[in-house]
Amino acid sequence: MNSEIRTGIPLLGEKIPTLEVQTTHGIKKIPDDYKGKWIVLFSHPADFTPVCTTEFVAFAKRNEEFKKLNAELIGLSIDQVFSHIKWVEWIKEKLGIEIPFPIIADDMGEVAKSFGMVHPGKGTNTVRAVFIIDPEARIRLMIYYPQEIGRQIDEILRALKALQISDTNKVAMPENWPNNELIKDKVIIPPPKDVVEAEKRKSWEGFDWWFTYKSLQ
């Protein structure tokens, strides 16, 4: 673990620190072991808790969907690795679901603190944080949930897809893409930067020159 890592909530666009962590899949170096891949790093308050169990089952069931998007899942909580291992065994034995991704054993809480996962009033437990990290090791999205509210895993998948499409096509994604109430699965073209471009936009598909959109098909 890098001793110079600062604590607190990181910033979007910031590079993650270099981490060497103990996981259920052995020692992992992040981001070095995931070069060229997106990472979805998510924390949970504790092993052997009901809400966390429902989330891990949902993540596991969608693991292949994340992989198809060139993304790897990594879980984390402030528990020791033997607790993670036993919990994973329990989920497989009792619920018939195998957890295919590694879980960081952050028993000293250093990783959690560096990502702002420990919030006031929650003791040493982590909140339900989600970080989508791109292949350049930059944080592109952060979501923090309280301990009492379980995540919606399909929304995390949707956000990952939207980020990748936005990057590739240099477009913006509307609310609830690809099921937006105004433009359905179309994407928004960034606003013009000068009057000449604005004039051109008046003939484009859209509601006005500053609100044009297109299909990716």
- By residue count, the chain amounts to 217
| E strand or H helix at 60 | helix 50-61
In angstroms, the first-to-last Cα distance of the chain is 45
126 vs 145: CA distance, rounded Å:
10
In terms of Cβ atoms closer than 10 Å to its own Cβ (0-12, 13-18, 19+), residue 19 is buried
Cis, bond preceding 100 (omega within 30 deg of 0): no
Catalytic-role residue among 16, 21, 52, 159: 52
As given in the structure block, the two tokens for residue 187 are 């994407």
41 catalytic? Reply is no
What residues act catalytically? 52
